[in-house]
Amino acid sequence: AGVVVFMILPHQIQFSTPIFSTENVGGWGDTFFEVLFIIIATLTLVCQCLNAARLSFSDEFIGSNKFLSRILAGSNARDEMKFKSAAVFKVNRMLENAYSLHHPTHSRGEVNEGTNELALLNFTKVTDKTEVVGGFKWAWKSFLNGDLKRKEGIWLQTRLIAGLMAQVLFSIIAIIILSTIWHGVIVLYKDDTTYCSISFNPESCYAPEFDGTSLGIAACTDIMFEGDGCDGSKIDIVSNVELFNLTCQYIPPNPATNETVCDSVFFYEDHYATFEGELTNNEVCQAQLTTCVFYENNTAACLLGLKPLGLIPWRFEGPGCESIPLVEEIIDTRPALFADAEAFVDESIDDYIPKRWMVVLCAVVSLITGCFVAISLFANYIPSTVCTIMKFRSGAIPSLRDPNFIQYRKTLESVTYIIGLMAWGTWSSIFFTVIVVAGGVFFLVYQVTRPIVVSIVAIVIGITVTLVFKSILITVLGRVNYAAFYRKRPWLANICGVGLECWHLGLSSGYMLSRAIKLIVAATMYIGRIDQPFLGEGVGVIGGTHLDKFPSIYRQGLLSADAHRHPYIERLGLIYLLKIRHGSKFGTTAGSIWRLLFVFSLMPWLRKFRIANDADIPEEIVMLQLTSGSNTKYEKIIKDLQEELNEEKSRLEKEIRTLQGKIKMNQGDANAETNLDNLLEMISNLQHKIDSAGEEKEKQNSLVRSLEHEMSELQQTKSKIENDHMYEVMSLKKELSEAVLRKDELAKERDELMKNNTDLIGLLSERQS
């Protein structure tokens, strides 16, 4: 497809529009685009061949061969490897920093003390210390040697790389177009390097007349042309009927044939012919060349003295013209008013038309500045992107806890603007820079505005001298009148303040003009920079409308890419995969508790990332949720205990009813009355113990309901729970343990009741016997 689009179609399909044309007109432009298209087609072909080869081999075979893995593995596989290395590198560096904070700076003697308080103290000492990260040189060096991915874990999205390539392409096209425009403007001026010598003898000329009045022109033969700059433009009766008819009417005949041939007429816009011969007295006399009809040997018959543009006659110049009778007669027929008007027009045109060197200077300076702008835009995008990502990761730019961060999560389709914004932003920056710089240089060198520039320079010099004097005066008065924010001499400070305010009332107008110019220049430079916001926070919002939301779109793209390519995301994904693979054997409650103990003991300052504000879950609830499995286990034990107590109560009640029936059958025995009373008392005590067991059951139920109520309150609260809440949780666990112990006691009491029951049954058996 690349070969067809970039190599075959441009030669097969020919079309022309006012903006773009595929017709081969020759020149360096066609050669440049042919070479560019061949390079693009070749790269496309190589990429497609590599993709086809990659699909032909298995991943195991490619990985086993070192050569194939280099050319077929693809950049994603290598980047993934570097990405995993970055995660390991960051974790190791975090642990090394934590260990260094626990390491004492001086000998602590033989006292065995924990290092937790030492680590917190050392961390407090270095909390306000910062280090400069990123930067232009560091970012490019890390990008080129791979440290950006291998150590920092920063993955530059493909959209950014494509945008940079689009910037290069659009920059080249913009510079070519601007160079072509400047070249077209410069060629309008006469090239002083071209050589053209036109000479003739005034004796071969005559002055055409109309009704006895001179036309102010001369018609000559045997005019000699020498040089490579004597080309004229061919005209006919259709293209310029007036000039063509005038030439054919007054052109002299060919001296060799005495015939006038008027089929090939050439006219000249800015060529002058020089009179030669004895009549000139070695002085220069020139006549503007109008039209010519060529004969053999570069000789021609021509009309002279008539300016083609506007058909203005009497165009003879030079001191030698007065010594040539023919030319003198023609000049004498010129009206005085016409001569004055011509002199005024020529002088006015010369005064207002800029010189060629001015245009060349503007073109060179503006194009060089445009190239610098293009290079600057390309070179600053990667360092700026890296810096923005690191600011998001370090918290220098608020992210998850920022109330406005939710805006980045909406309309993710906006990131599709990035490539177009980068490309056309570069194009716009180059064009605006060239226009502004060219306008500034032209304003400085143009002969019409040059007096204004001189006046402005004089004013600037005067203002500079005044500002220098003011700075010296303010420095002296500041030392005399002020000590930091306090005035040492209030009356003198007040007088100086009033004087300076009056002074600044006049200077402020210049300051505002200077500020406007600086803002315009800065805005011109930042048109192509969507990676950094040009307007301050809150400045670019008017009535809820963002004047410049493209930097936010760029940051949105960075966050979207970093959400998938953060080194810790890779570690977290690995943990999730291990959890899926090993199930309940991985990531248990005990492991989570040990992890928290490890983190809080080695890196206690990480609590601030868990408990940063009131909107976060309190640490105690996190701990309680981690141990929710244990609480559930205790609740199950209590439930089982209650069921056992209910079953035991039912069985004892059934046995009591059986005993009561047997006692009623033996109520007639007088000797057993006392024993029966004792037996009834024992049964009453047993019933009381059973009731006590029921009350114990109600207490256990109440305790469970209380636990459930307290757990729901802990889950709903958002404020920080004090350390004594943890003590309450431990107390609840202790009460649960006591409930388990109470179960054992109830079991013992049940055994005693069973034993007493057995004794009663034996006693009754003896009584019956």
What integer pLDDT is reported at residue 438 of this predicted model?
92
Q: What is the pLDDT of residues 671-724, one digit of tens each?
A: 445 555 666 666 666 666 666 666 666 666 666 666 666 666 655 554 444 454
Inform me whether the pLDDT recorded for 8 exceeds 70.
Answer: no
| pLDDT per residue as tens digits for the range 564-601 | 878 888 788 888 888 888 887 887 878 888 887 887 77
Please determine, for residue 526, whether its predicted confidence score (pLDDT) is greater than 90. Answer: no
Question: What value does the mean pLDDT take over residues 397-417?
Answer: 81
What is the average per-residue pLDDT within 321-340?
74
Q: Which residue is listed with tokens 């064009």? A: 431
Strand ranges in 539-624 using DSSP code E only, listed in sequence order: 541-542, 545-546
Tokens of 374: 């293009």
pLDDT in tens, 85-112: 888 888 888 888 888 888 776 554 444 5
Percent of the chain, pLDDT > 90?
A: 3
Average pLDDT, the chain: 75
Residues contacting residue 554 through CB under 8 Å, at least 6 positions apart = 418, 421, 530, 531
Residue among 388, 387, 754, 725 nearest 559 (CA): 388
pLDDT for 620 equals 54
Q: ∠ CA(176), CA(182), CA(187), 5° rounding?
A: 120
Q: Of 109, 108, 114, nearest to 604 (Cα)?
A: 114
Q: What angle do CA 242, 248, 251 make, to 5 degrees?
A: 120
CB 160 within 8 A of CB 381: yes
346 compared with 318, residue with greater pLDDT: 318
- The CA-to-CA distance between both ends of the chain, in Å, stands at 115
Q: Which two tokens stand for residue 291?
A: 């039209």
> Sign of dihedral through CA atoms 568, 569, 573, 575?
positive
Q: What is the pTM of this model?
A: 0.61
Domain ranges of the chain: 1-72, 197-343, 357-546, 626-768
Token pair belonging to 583: 């199930």
pLDDT of 498 reads: 87
pLDDT at 239: 67
Token duo for residue 260: 């006038």
In this model, does residue 188 exceed pLDDT 70? yes
Give me the pLDDT at residue 113, please.
Answer: 58
Q: What DSSP string runs through 649-685?
A: HHHHHHHHHHHHHHHHHTTT-STTHHHHHHHHHHHHH
Whole-number Å distance between alpha carbons of 556 and 412 = 7
Overall average pLDDT of the 184-195 stretch: 68
Burial of 222 (0-12, 13-18, 19+ CB in 10 A): buried
For the ranges 172-186, 567-581, 755-769, which has the lowest average pLDDT? Answer: 755-769
Q: Which amino acid is at 365?
A: V
User: What is the pLDDT confidence band of residue 284, given thresholds at 50, 70 and 90?
Assistant: confident
For residue 364, the model assigns a pLDDT of 92
Residue whose token pair is 């360092």: 383
- Distance (Å, whole) CA 117 – CA 110: 17
Residue 220, SS3 per DSSP: strand
pLDDT for residue 19 = 41
**Structure confidence at residue 109 (pLDDT):** 47
Q: What is the average per-residue pLDDT within 159-166?
A: 89
> Cα separation of 749 and 652, whole Å?
12
What value does the mean pLDDT take over residues 149-157?
84
What is the pairing mode between strands 272-275 and 197-200?
Answer: parallel
Position 18 scores a pLDDT of 42
What is the rounded average pLDDT of the residues 73-94?
78
The arithmetic mean of pLDDT across residues 724-745, rounded, is: 61
Could you tell me which residue, 446 or 229, shows the higher pLDDT? 446
Q: Which of 77-91, 333-347, 685-699 has the highest mean predicted lDDT (pLDDT)?
A: 77-91
